[in-house]
Structure 1
Amino acid sequence: MMSSLLLRSCLPSAVRSLLKATHIRNSSSMMGGLQPASVMVLPRSLAPAFESFCQGNCGLLPLLGQSEVEKTLPQLNAVPDIRTICPQFQKYEFGTCTGILTSLEEYSEQLKDMVTFIMDCSFSIDEALEQAGIPRRDLAGPGHAGAYKTTVPCGTIAGFCCPLVATMRPVPKDKLERLLQAAHSMGGQQGQPIHIGDPELLGIEAFSKPDYGSYVQCQPEDVPVFWPSQLTSLEAIIGCKAPLAFTSPPGCTVRVPKNTVFPVGCLTPEMVPEVHAISKDPLHYSIVSAPAAQKVRELESTITIDPGNRGIGHLLLKDELLQSALSLSHARSILVTTGFPTHFNHEPPEETDGPPGAIALAAFLQALGKETTMVVDQRALNLHTKIVEDAVKQGVLKTPIPILTYQGRSMEDAQAFLCKDGDPKSPRFDHLVAIERAGRAADGNYYNARKMNIKHLVDPIDDIFLAAQKIPGISSTGIGDGGNELGMGRVKEAVRKHIRNGDVIACDVEADFAVIAGVSNWGGYALACALYVLNSCQVHDRYLRKATGPSEGAGEERWIQALPSVAKEEKMLGILVQNQVRSGVSGIVGMEVDGLPFHNVHAEMVQKLVDATTRHM
């Protein structure tokens, strides 16, 4: 309850004498028993709604307390900042600033029916930079570091709504990790950024022209890092169009008696963040807690056993599963492809590796509320349509997945497929995933592991992945177990050197992330599990939400139900058997994948992944 947050150090006194005692300063550093804060003064009729708005967006609007202005406006015994003299308050009428005031004495009567809100401003970005050993950049103008109105909406609560306002500091990319650790040690959750990378991803177009303050100069090797700004509360006041309101001026903070700055538990080791690059164009980084990242690494290690002794250990790249999952976590619309027609003398020629992993991943993407679509070979459209229908009937999938085909013959066709009206600024998908999908070799053909050319059975879906490399905002993942799968061009040199027939069969088409597994289905299961881990992580969840609105809540029931399970994967393999899909190695129509029995090998792997995912969550 907010009553527990009332400022215990506030001294009752007459309004006029309290206002005269108020000091404002442009620094967020703490001196003695004081801490910086901003002040919002609103009509009493709006106070409950504003309190709910702050609580619903607590990552942005850390509310220290509220009080009746006439009784408990904070008494501040701070030493004024001699570097600058700030006016005490800005006056707003119906959302418009109508005055800058050094005293509120003439509004004594109105203040009797108003409430003061005290917002915590104790975390200092500049102090975190200093602790991380990062020199401050020069401002392009006078005043304080710039802040930007973004296109990210705060959670609308009780009629209050406004855009997120964020402030930026440039950070050398090789010092990002150090900065995040320093900011965490100083500020807990308040020290965590809400965006790292391209400003346009926040809807900021005029980067050199902040809405508030002055632009902070960036160097070529710098990465823009954004934190929530206290000015978000000012936008809320403007948006509510109160007949009368008063606020601290932008860039200025009141110093109030020191209270509990951070909620208990914010500085636990479980919250220490890691930072990972997930896109180069546009530049984008994501963050996750160290324990959650370690859990994903355990999943990656689990799926890399090599039951077929193919030598896949030579193909492994560290943290590809983690980076792919982070990228997918930020994606809104995902295109999944699968299908490896290795049994060219049979109908259908597909194998049992690929579709189960694709369906398992799609099921979890659906649970996260992401648009999920499949693209398959034209000749296999009816097969995959039947597989999806049966998966829905048997509860493996919650809802059907739209299924597309692609038979274009040029990069222009691929771009038209990927983008609305063929416009590369309007991609239909922001992440592509290939799971055990036949991949094009350097000579333009498609080969199974035995060097048999199966090009006549494969549509040029590779072109979609190639076109995506030139469209900003689309990332891609390839999942494979032998090096001839779409996306494995990322490790093609290792495939040629270490995999049998690799000099012929190696896929030449790259994905941004290459997930290597002993069986490709396992990579699909692990990616679904990794997404569960990330979205159950408080650090990552806050970053995804840009600290706006309430958290989804770790381990939400629909996520747990959407995870792979032995029962669901047994049903899925049974569906493939009913449709005469064969095991990849043996060619048997039965309960096996890549020649390995389901009940002794694959079921054990599924259970191991799920147990590792849900342990201690």
Structure 2
Amino acid sequence: MADTTLITRLDTRLDQLVNIDMGERGVEHLFEAARALEGRSLIGAAADALMAVPEGGTVVLTTGSVSRAWITPDLGENDGPSGAAAIARALVLARSVTCVMLCEETLLPAIRKTCQAAGLFPVTLEQAAIAKADKSLATIVMLPYATDDAGGQAQAEMLLADLKPDLLFSTERVGRNEFGVYHSMRGIDYGMGRARVDFLFDLALERGIPVVAVGDGGNEIGMGKVADHVKAHVPYGDKCQCGCGGGIGAVTSCDVLVTAACSNWGCTAIAAAMAARAGDAKLMHTPDREALLLDTMVASGLINSTHGIVDDSVDGFPRQSHIAVAELCRTIVSRAL
């Protein structure tokens, strides 16, 4: 493992890279607020939390955003799935954990294909236990989550009891505001057909289970940690367009909040920081793998939500931007590898 002084410098550079506010969403304000609360690099804090998961432990992850449910609940966006897949891959390689991915049943096929393109074979919980015991296969478990409040609360209790997770990880997962409404970045009600996974994260926080969250707009799980700054600096942060009386900010908090101009970039940087800590380049989310996952998400029908079209841009940023971020993250941590 590289020395801690070098790791600290690399973490800071990763923070700076992924928080350039190219989309003009106000993420730099959220980064400054989260950084002040954390007292150190956000990317570094997230990587440390993930690397602290016990060998062979269990991590619950969530991502996926039903994007136009008033048209069809089968449509999801492409910011989130590739980043979550990159983190799950790094966790399996670094800590031999059982990764359990939660999302809407309608989005399971697309996210399953994305995880498989990242190198993880989707299996049942029972099959994952066998694979972990003989270390013969990198796996991931995919489970649907309830899309109604009562079901979401009941499933939260059940999953924590059954899985006993060591950590929960969320990226680009919309959470409800103080009035129970889930909003898009444009301030409209986005709750229909959406999994109520934030209830699981609230319960985990109550029980002292570590939670790491990644977001780019203020309406995601984890952003409750900087709620006042979302209201002050994010469009529709204080008043939405749906008439509920609140803003788009999610109320669910977290232990470690990672901000980024695009949530996938935050995950790419976290994987790089994990690789630096392990001294293992295999944990990296590489440019080639990013290109493969972008193509997989297009083939699976996930959309560039900003432009409302199925293509290999994410959050309106073109394909080469995402490949370049992966290359720059690799360059930043190369001295530690």
Interval of TM-score (by shorter of Structure 1 and Structure 2): 0.7 to 0.9
- State the Cα distance separating 1:413 from its structure 2 match: 4.1
Could you tell me how far 1:337 is from its partner in structure 2?
0.4
Alignment partner, residue 419 of structure 1: 161
1:428 equivalent to 2:160? Answer no
The one-letter code sitting in structure 2 at the alignment partner of 1:584 is S
**CA separation of 1:350 and 1:330: change in aligned 2, threshold 3 A:** same
Residue 388 of structure 1 aligns with which residue? 115
Indicate conservation of the 8 Å contact 2:85/2:114, yes or no.
no
1:343 is matched with 68
Partner Cα distance (1:482, 1:400) in 2:
31
RCO (CA 8 Å, sep 6+): is it higher in 1 or 2? 2
Structure 2 CA distance, aligned partners of 1:382 and 1:497?
38
Aligned counterpart, 1:438: 174
Q: Partner of 2:140 in structure 1?
A: 401
Quick check: 1:492 aligned with 2:223?
A: no
**Among residues 81, 105, 122, which one is paired with 1:378 in the alignment?**
105
- The answer on 1:520 being equivalent to 2:263 is yes
In 2, Cα distance between equivalents of 1:346 and 1:450: 19
Distance of 1:439 and 1:381 partners within structure 2: 19
More strand by share: 1
Please report how far the alpha carbon of residue 376 of structure 1 lies from its aligned counterpart in structure 2 after TM superposition: 0.8
1:607 paired to 2:327: yes
- The residue that corresponds to 1:463 in the other structure is 199
Question: Which amino acid in 1 is paired with 2:142?
Answer: I
Q: Please tell me whether the aligned partners of residues 59 and 100 of structure 2 are also in contact (alpha carbons under 8 angstroms).
A: yes
Residue 562 (structure 1) aligned to one of 258, 265, 283? 283
Q: Which residue of 2 aligns with 1:294?
A: 9
**Cα distance, 1:352 vs structure 2:** 1.0
Q: SS of the residue aligned with 1:383?
A: helix
Q: How much does 1:616 deviate?
A: 4.6
Q: Alignment partner for residue 214 of structure 2, among 479, 488, 491?
A: 479
The answer for the alignment partner of 1:322 in structure 2 is 44
In structure 2, the residue matched to 1:170 is none
1:583 is matched with which residue: 282, 304, 309?
304
TM-fit CA distance, 1:603: 1.2
Shift of 1:482: 0.4
Displacement after TM superposition at 1:410 (Å): 6.4
CA distance in 1, matches of 2:139, 2:189: 33
Q: TM-score, normalised by structure 2?
A: 0.83
Which one has a larger percent helix, Structure 1 or Structure 2? 2
Q: Which has the larger radius of gyration?
A: 1
- Is the alpha carbon distance of 1:301 and 1:583 closer, same or farther for their aligned partners in structure 2, counting shifts above 3 Å? same
3-state SS, counterpart of residue 441 of structure 1: coil
Contact 1:476–1:513 at 8 Å: present in 2 too?
yes
Provide the TM-score with structure 1 as the length reference: 0.46
What do the CA deviations read for 1:74-106 (whole angstroms, capped 9, x no partner)?
xxxxxxxxxxxxxxxxxxxxxxxxxxxxxxxxx
Relative distance call for 1:528 and 1:391 in structure 2 (3 A) is closer
How far does residue 402 in structure 1 lie from its aligned partner after superposition?
Answer: 0.5
CA distance in 2, matches of 1:390, 1:565: 13
Structure 1 match to 2:275:
532
Give the superposition deviation at 1:379. 2.5
Q: Contact between 1:353 and 1:520, CA under 8 Å: does it hold in 2?
A: yes
User: Cα 1:411–1:341, aligned 2, differ >3 Å: closer, same or farther?
Assistant: closer
- Contact persistence 1:480–1:516 (CA under 8 A): yes
Residue type of the alignment partner of 1:502:
G
Shift of 1:584: 1.9
Change (3 A) 1:616 1:385: closer
Distance 1:586 1:592 in 2: 9
CA drift of 1:595 comes to: 1.0
Structure 2 residue matching 1:460: 3-state secondary structure: coil
Identical-residue share of aligned pairs (%): 28
| Aligned counterparts of 2:251 and 2:328: Cα–Cα separation in 1 | 33
Equivalent-residue separation in structure 1 for 2:120 and 2:106 (angstroms): 23
**Residues 1:353 and 1:410: Cα distance change in structure 2 (over 3 Å):** closer
Question: Separation in 2 of the partners of 1:295 and 1:311?
Answer: 24
Is the Cα contact below 8 Å between 1:348 and 1:581 reproduced in 2? no
Structure 2 spans left out of the alignment, 5+ residues: 36-40, 122-136, 239-246
Counterpart code for 1:321: I
The Cα shift of 1:568 comes to 0.7
Q: After alignment, is 586-595 or 315-324 more displaced?
A: 315-324
- Map residues 63-102 of structure 1 onto 2, 5 A cutoff: none
Aligned 8 A contact 2:63 2:81 in 1: yes
Q: Does 1:507 align with 2:250?
A: yes
Contact 1:349/1:581, CA 8 A, preserved across alignment? yes
Of 295, 310, 313, the match for 2:28: 313
Structure 1 Cα separation of the partners of residues 336 and 284 of structure 2? 16
CA distance in 2, matches of 1:501, 1:308: 15
Q: Distance in 1 between matches of 2:145 and 2:7?
A: 37
What is the Cα deviation at residue 596 of structure 1?
1.2
- Contact in 2 for aligned 1:391/1:575 (Cα 8 Å): no
- Conserved 8 A contact 1:348-1:580: no
Across the aligned residues of Structure 1 and Structure 2, the Cα RMSD in angstroms comes to 2.0
The 1:584–1:524 alpha-carbon spacing in structure 2 relative to 1, beyond 3 Å, is: same
One-letter amino acid matched to 1:338: T
State how 1:32-71 maps to structure 2 within 5 Å. Answer: none
Q: What are the residue-to-residue correspondences of 1:118-197 with 2, within 5 Å?
A: none
Code of the aligned partner of 1:307? M
Q: Quick one: which of 315, 318, 321 aligns to 1:597?
A: 318
CA distance in 1, matches of 2:107, 2:336: 42
2:80 aligned residue: 354
